[in-house]
C-alpha cells in the first residue's frame, strides 16, 4: 500500500519585463524550481531529436534555448485580479488552449503568448488545484510532456497567488549567468 504523496508547493513570482515595462511578469516555481526549468528537462530529448541534423549550437547556447523557449505570462493588471483568475482556471479566451480546462501557464518570449505557449489542464476545487496534461500546442507530435501532475493544496495556492514573490529580474537570467 502506497502512502499519498505530500502536495506540491507553488510560488508565483513578479518581475519586470524589460521590453514591456507596463506589464507584470507572472513567473512560477513548482517545489522551488522555475517551471521553465521543468519544461526544459521535459523537452530536452524531444528537441534533441528534432534539431539533431541542423544543430551547431554550443552546449551553453542549447541550454539557453531550452530555458528561454517560454516566458512568464504578462498581465496588464495592476491589482492582479486577472492573473489570479487565470491561474484558477478563469483564463481570458486568448490564453485558452481549446481543450476543456486547458490554459496557458507560460507564453512566448516574443510577447505574444499564443506564439509558443505551454498548456496544461487546470482544475480547482475547494481543497486543491491540479495541473496536468502539459503539452506544447504547436508540437502535437510530442504528445503529453513528461511532467506533473502537480497537486497543490488550495489554501497554500490561494496564498501564493495573493502574495507573489517580487524579484528584481527574470530568475532564468541568473541561471544563465546573466544576473
Q: What is the pTM of this model?
A: 0.90
The whole-number pLDDT of residue 24 equals 80
* Residue 66: partners with Cβ closer than 8 Å, 6 or more residues away: 40, 43, 44, 47
Helix (H, G, I), strand (E, B) or coil at 84: helix
The whole-number pLDDT of residue 141 equals 92
The whole-number pLDDT of residue 131 equals 96
Does a structural domain hold residue 2?
no
Cα–Cα nearest to 117, from 126, 108, 125, 129? 108
10-residue stretch averages of pLDDT, the chain, 179 residues long: 68 84 87 96 89 73 90 82 88 76 88 88 94 93 95 96 92 80
Q: For residue 158, which phi and psi values (nearest 5 degrees)?
A: -60, -40
Does a structural domain hold residue 4?
no
Does a structural domain hold residue 33?
yes
Cα–Cα nearest to 47, from 72, 69, 28? 69
Does a structural domain hold residue 46?
yes
Does a structural domain hold residue 99?
yes
Range of the domain at 109: 10-175
Q: In this structure, are strands 10-16 and 24-30 parallel, antiparallel, or unpaired? A: antiparallel
Does a structural domain hold residue 56?
yes
Number of domains in the chain: 1
Does a structural domain hold residue 141?
yes
**Please, are residues 80 and 164 in contact by the beta-carbon 8 Å criterion?**
yes
Does a structural domain hold residue 14?
yes
Amino acid at each position: 500500500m502506497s502512502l499519498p504523496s505530500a502536495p506540491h508547493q507553488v510560488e508565483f513570482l513578479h518581475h519586470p519585463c524589460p521590453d514591456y515595462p507596463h506589464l507584470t511578469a507572472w513567473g512560477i516555481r513548482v517545489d522551488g524550481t522555475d517551471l521553465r526549468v521543468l519544461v526544459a528537462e521535459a523537452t530536452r530529448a524531444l528537441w534533441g531529436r528534432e534539431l539533431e541534423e541542423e544543430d551547431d549550437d554550443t552546449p551553453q547556447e542549447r541550454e539557453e534555448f531550452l530555458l528561454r523557449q517560454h516566458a512568464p505570462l504578462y498581465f496588464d493588471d495592476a491589482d492582479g485580479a486577472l492573473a489570479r483568475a487565470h491561474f484558477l482556471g478563469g483564463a481570458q479566451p486568448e490564453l485558452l488552449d481549446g481543450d476543456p480546462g486547458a490554459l496557458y501557464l507560460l507564453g512566448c518570449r516574443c510577447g505574444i503568448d499564443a506564439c509558443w505557449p505551454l498548456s496544461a489542464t487546470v482544475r480547482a476545487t475547494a481543497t486543491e488545484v491540479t495541473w496536468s496534461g502539459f503539452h506544447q500546442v504547436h508540437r502535437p507530435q510530442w504528445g503529453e510532456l513528461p511532467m506533473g501532475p502537480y497537486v497543490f493544496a488550495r489554501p497554500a495556492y490561494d496564498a501564493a497567488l495573493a502574495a507573489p514573490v517580487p524579484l528584481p529580474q527574470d530568475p532564468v537570467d541568473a541561471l544563465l549567468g546573466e544576473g
